[in-house]
Amino acid sequence: MMHRVVFCISLLCLVFPAFSQENSLVISNIVISGNFKTRPNIILRELTFQKGDTLISSELVTNTTRSRENILNTSLFNYVTIRVLNNSDSSLDIHIDVEERWYFWPAVIFKYEDRNFSAWLKAKDLSKTKYGFSLEKFNFTGRKQNLRISFLFGYAKQIEISYKNIALDRNRRHFIGAMAEVSRQDEMIFDTKNNEPVLFKSTYQPVFERDKFTINYTYRPILNDFHNLYVNYFKYSISDTILKLNSDFLGRNVKEMECFTVDYVFTKDKRDIKAYPLKGYYFELLAGQTLSLPVTKKSFSSSVIIPNFYKFFEINSKIHYATNLTLKLSYNNTNSYFYSRSLGYIYNLHGFEYNTIEGEHFVIFKNLVKFTLLNTKVTELIFIPLPKFNKIHYAIYFNVFTDCGYVSSKYQSIENSYANKFLYSGGVGLDFVTYYDKTLRAEYSMNGFGKGGFFFHLTAPINK
């Protein structure tokens, strides 16, 4: 009896390693093609595996899928294909084929300048546009650096020069960038009345001037984590008329202000496709401090913390669910309309596109169910001779959504009744998603105050 037990144990010891070895595969080579401009190490940095790694066969699909998504999320390529070729029972080759985007954009610019696309359409005012030209080189030197020079006129006279994403080490964990911008506006939102923005426009001189200089440092220890530090210098100036209309626009009776802002932003990005995610999650934490110059007891000070979380679920191949929770906590040592902007600017609730709501703190919670009407299709437009533009992909989604939120303001006026109240809305939308990270969205929504209508957006309904 004993010899049978020993025999069985010996047999298991022989079979188990063989079984494990059959399912362990060594990546013997990684071959990249189609990267005519992009350096290979830019692509290799996005992979969840490297040459020489050993993977369990069951992990192959997960790793190649995540690696493909990471490469696409660099925004350097329109299409990415990863193929796995077996050399033997224990080794394999990874073939990565990419189709690069168009990186150099000497462009004539004509774009709307408003809080959102629907607000711009409602105004029916072509003067709320910027026009000019820019020279923009994405993937500069093939290392994913971005160089941009732009000259804009119209609603805002603006000059901008930026050079971003400059790697400091061979492993591409440390980056720096810089930006300088000079902007002058003839029109400015100076107050909120009846929950909507109030503007003043001058025909002979700028009403708002801003100079901005930024240096930023980025640390990327692992694939999906980013630590960003921004040091900004601002110089603001408003016209005498804006100061008379709202003496608390910048701060109490402040016409000109110089200040430094230090922002720390941590992001963890596990979205499948960042332009229009269907699976994964995104977390961002912003902590910022602004202090005006010169530093005295009367200096203006503003502190803010904004955690922001998005989660995307795949219920099945045709139905997806998305949710978002954003919280803002801030403190200003004196009333400042400019530094109290909450909803209606960067952050919005559906159904409140025409509104602006100021306050020190806010919370918003969004939910959306998405139905796939047309899965992603790829079509070649033979009448377009440029290969970087003649192959397009597109998809169509129908969705149902609900939003709710609350803005807390200690400076609320009677006429601005949306602050310090529970806000909610709901509606339906239709999204057309296409290449170069573009989304065209039409929706109908109604808010809790009985106001609704059709709205149009150029962004995904729930996404950072």
Give the DSSP per-residue string, 141-194. TTTTEEEEEEEEEESEEEEEEEEEEEE-STTS-EEEEEEEEEEEESEEEEEEET
pLDDT tens-place string over residues 360-370: 999 999 999 99
pLDDT of 4 reads 43
pLDDT band at 392 (very low <50, low <70, confident <90, very high): confident
Q: Is the pLDDT of residue 416 over 70?
A: yes
Mean pLDDT of 404-411: 93
| C-alpha dihedral (164, 165, 169, 170), degrees to nearest 10 | -130
pLDDT band at 106 (very low <50, low <70, confident <90, very high): low
- Residue 48 vs residues 78, 281, 357: alpha-carbon distances, Å: 20, 17, 43
pLDDT band at 19 (very low <50, low <70, confident <90, very high): very low
pLDDT of 456 reads 86
Mean pLDDT of 443-453: 92
Q: Is the pLDDT of residue 295 over 80?
A: yes
pLDDT of 228 reads 98
* Total-model pTM: 0.83
Q: Return the CA Rg of the chain.
A: 26
**Low-confidence winner among 161-175, 388-402, 442-456 (lowest mean pLDDT):** 388-402
Cα–Cα distance, 275 to 283 (Å, whole number): 15
pLDDT tens-place string over residues 171-188: 899 999 999 999 998 888
- Residue 159 vs residues 79, 112, 114, 135, 182: alpha-carbon distances, Å: 33, 17, 18, 12, 5
pLDDT of 110 reads 56
pLDDT tens-place string over residues 278-291: 999 999 999 999 99
Q: Is the pLDDT of residue 212 over 50?
A: yes
pLDDT of 378 reads 83
* Domains of the chain from N-terminus onward: 19-99 (3.10.20.310), 104-457 (2.40.160.50)
For residues 43 and 32, the answer to whether their CB atoms sit within 8 Å is yes
pLDDT of 369 reads 97
Residue 34's Cα: distance from chain center in Å?
Answer: 27
Give the DSSP per-residue string, 424-449. EEEEEEEEEEETTTEEEEEEEEEETT
pLDDT of 17 reads 44
Q: What is the mean pLDDT of the chain?
A: 86
pLDDT band at 127 (very low <50, low <70, confident <90, very high): low
Long-range contacts of the stretch 159-164 (C-beta < 8 A, 24+)? 159/183, 164/216
- In which region does residue 329 sit, left (phi positive, over 0), alpha (psi from -120 to 50) or beta (all else)? beta
pLDDT band at 89 (very low <50, low <70, confident <90, very high): confident
DSSP structural state of residue 347: B
pLDDT band at 120 (very low <50, low <70, confident <90, very high): low
Cis (ω within 30 of 0) for the bond into 294? yes
